[in-house]
Amino acid sequence: MIDFNRPAFTGKELEYIRDAVNRGMLCGDGAYTKQCSRWMEERFHVNHVLLTPSCTHALEMAAYLADIQPGDEVIMPSYTFVSTADAFVLRGAKIVFTDIRLDTMNMDETLIEDAITPKTKAIVPVHYAGVACEMDTIMEIAARHHLKVIEDAAQGVNAFYKGRALGTIGDFGCYSFHETKNYTMGEGGALLFQDEKYLERAEILREKGTDRSRFFRGQVDKYRWVDYGSSYLPSELNAAYLYAQLEVCEEIDRKRMEIYHYYHEHLKCLADAGEILQPTVPKECIHNAHMYFIRVRDLKTRTRLLAYLKERGICSVFHYVPLHSAPAGRRFGRFHGEDVYTTKESERLLRLPMFYNLSMDEVKQVTEAILAFFKG
Ligand SMILES: *Cc1c(COP(=O)(O)O)cnc(C)c1O
C-alpha cells in the first residue's frame, strides 16, 4: 500500500515536544513559536511572521486586516482550495472567480483587469504547487487600482519568484503547515506582512481583541479588551514539531526534489507521446516540489487511471472541484469571463504520492504502474 501522503517526520520532533512540555508552557507565543517566526522572518526577508493554527486562519486575519467589508469584491481563481474563498466570504465579500493559465494552473494575470469593478478591494493569487503566479503583473495592476494583494502561499513555503519568497510580495502572505504540506505541525499556518502599520491590529485580533502582546512587552501595565478579536495562536506543542522540520528544511527539500525529478524524467516518454501533460515551471520561479501532478487526456482516462493505481495499492488523488461550480461558490461568487481551462484542466489532473518519508522504491513502483497503464 502506497499512501498519497504521510506527514513528514524527520527525527527531532518528539525531542522538541518533550522540551516544550518540560519548559512548562504550552499555550501560544512561547519559545518555539518565536523561534519559528524568527526563522521565517530571517530566511524569507519579511518583517512580520505570526504563527496561526492554520492557513485558513491566516487568510481570515488577512481579510480582516485588509478591511474587507460586506459587498466588497475579491478576485481569485476558481481552481483553489475552499479556504481561499471562505476567509473573504466570512467578511461578507462577493467572490469574483477568474480563469487559470494552462501551463501553471495559476490565475491568469491577463484576465484580472477586466474583472475589476468599483467594488473590487483585493486580488488573491494562489501559488499552485509552489509555483509562483506572475507577481510583477499582479502587483502592478493592484497598485494602479489601489487594491490589496493577499497571497495564498499555502503551498508556496520556501519557493521563490525572481528571488523573493512567496508570501512576502503582496500586502499579506498566508502559509500552511497542514500535514499535507512540505513542512508541518499537524495543523498550522502563518500570516506574513512587511508593513509595520498592520502589526498592532494583527496582534490584537490574534489575542482575543486584547492588547495582551503589548502588555507582555511592558508597553501597557494591564491588558484590556480593545477591539475585534479571536484566538489565532497555535500551541507550543505544534510549534515544537514545526521547528524541528524548519531546522532540516534543506533535507526535506532535497528528498521532495528527488521524488519530483524521478517522476518528471521517467514519465517524460508519456508526455512526448502526447498521453500526458507534465508540470511546467516558468524560468523566474524556483518551486519547492510541493506536488507532482500530471494531466491525462480527459475525465474518463483519469477515472480509469485512478482505479488502476488503486487496484495496485497506490493512492493517487485529484482536486479541486472548481469553486464557482460548488453550491457555496454559486451563492457567494460569480465567474467572470469564460471558463476555458478551470473546469477542463481540473477534470484531467491527478496528483502522485509525494512526501518526505516516501521511499524511492515506492516512487519507482508508482512510475512503473503509470507506464504500464498507458502501455496496456
Ligand atoms: C492547504 C491549503 C489551504 C488551507 O490550509 P490549512 O492550513 O489547512 O488551513 C489554503 N489554500 C491552499 C491553496 C491550500 O493548498
Residue 218 Cα to ligand 1 midpoint, Å, equals 35
* Mean pLDDT of the region 252-278: 98
Pocket perturbation via mutation, ligand 1, pick of 5, 50, 51, 56 by most ligand atoms within 8 A of CB: 56
pLDDT of 335 > 90? The answer is yes
Q: Read off the pLDDT of residues 304-330 as tens digits, 9 standing for 90 and up.
A: 999 999 999 999 999 999 999 999 999
CATH of domain 249-375: 3.90.1150.10
Residue 181 Cα to ligand 1 midpoint, Å, equals 9
Pocket perturbation via mutation, ligand 1, pick of 5, 80, 81, 152 by most ligand atoms within 8 A of CB: 81
pLDDT number for residue 229: 96
Burial of 71 (0-12, 13-18, 19+ CB in 10 A): exposed
Residue 154 Cα to ligand 1 midpoint, Å, equals 5
Residue 368: which pLDDT band, with cuts at 50, 70 and 90?
very high
Residues forming CATH 3.40.640.10 domain(s) in the chain = 13-246
Mutual angle of helices 55-65 and 199-206, in 10-degree steps: 130
Residue whose CA is at the smallest distance from ligand 1 atom 1:
154
Residue 225 Cα to ligand 1 midpoint, Å, equals 30
Percent of the chain with pLDDT strictly greater than 90: 97
Residue 82 Cα to ligand 1 midpoint, Å, equals 8
* Mean pLDDT of the region 154-172: 98
Q: Which atom of ligand 1 is nearest to the CA of 189?
A: 7
Alpha-carbon distance of 192 to 47, in angstroms, equals: 8
Is 83 close to ligand 1, i.e. is its CB under 6 Å away?
yes
Tell me what the pLDDT averaged over the chain comes to: 97
Residue 376: which pLDDT band, with cuts at 50, 70 and 90?
confident
Is 55 close to ligand 1, i.e. is its CB under 6 Å away?
yes
* Mean pLDDT of the region 209-234: 93
Residue 78 Cα to ligand 1 midpoint, Å, equals 14
pLDDT number for residue 94: 98
Query: What is the enclosing helix (H) or strand (E) of 303?
Result: helix 299-311
Residue 94 Cα to ligand 1 midpoint, Å, equals 20
CB 253 within 8 A of CB 45: no
Is 81 close to ligand 1, i.e. is its CB under 6 Å away?
yes
Residues forming CATH 3.90.1150.10 domain(s) in the chain = 249-375
CATH of domain 13-246: 3.40.640.10
Residue 180: which pLDDT band, with cuts at 50, 70 and 90?
very high
Q: Read off the pLDDT of residues 36-65 as tens digits, 9 standing for 90 and up.
A: 999 999 999 999 999 999 999 999 999 999
Residue 192 Cα to ligand 1 midpoint, Å, equals 15
Whether a cis peptide bond, with omega within 30° of 0, leads into 320 is: yes
CB 61 within 8 A of CB 173: no
Is 126 close to ligand 1, i.e. is its CB under 6 Å away?
yes
Residue whose CA is at the smallest distance from ligand 1 atom 5:
55
Residue 302 CA: distances (Å) to CA of 93, 355, 363 = 35, 22, 19
Is 80 close to ligand 1, i.e. is its CB under 6 Å away?
yes
Can you spell out the DSSP letters for 201-239? HHHHHHBTTB-HHHHHTTSSSS--B-S---B----HHHH
